[in-house]
Amino acid sequence: MNKSQLILKISKDAGLRRAQSVRAVKALVGSIRETIKNGGKISLTGLGTFKVKARKARPGRNPKTGETIAIPAGRKISFKPSLSLKKLIKA
């Protein structure tokens, strides 16, 4: 499902006009992006948790040359699905 399909689904399920659904999806995505950018955590009941994790510096390997390179420390986005979402997948 892509963004426009999600907008149509929300529009139908919530009984909203398409323009209202577009604004709602943009607001949701914008809020998630802003919170993640600031290093925050977002928990959506029934879906899961998005958060930023620190990643240590580590050695890596250039696959083309086989040369060892240093991969710098950084941050990554982590998603942990909720228990109900995990159960839905297993069923």
Q: What residue ranges define each of the domains in the chain, with the CATH number in brackets?
A: 3-90 (4.10.520.10)
CA distance 32 to 35: 5
Low-confidence ranges of the chain (pLDDT < 50): none
* 16 close to 10: Cβ distance less than 8 angstroms: yes
* 51 close to 58: Cβ distance less than 8 angstroms: no
Residue 88 three-state SS: helix
pLDDT in tens, 35-59: 999 999 999 999 999 999 999 999 9
Q: How much is the pLDDT for 27?
A: 96
Q: How much is the pLDDT for 91?
A: 79
Burial 32-48 (b: 16+ CB within 10 A, else e): eeeebeeeeeeeeeeeb
Q: Which of 54, 49, 58 is nearest to 75 (CA)?
A: 54
Q: How much is the pLDDT for 60?
A: 95
pTM of the complete model: 0.75
Give residue 60's identity as a one-letter amino acid code.
G
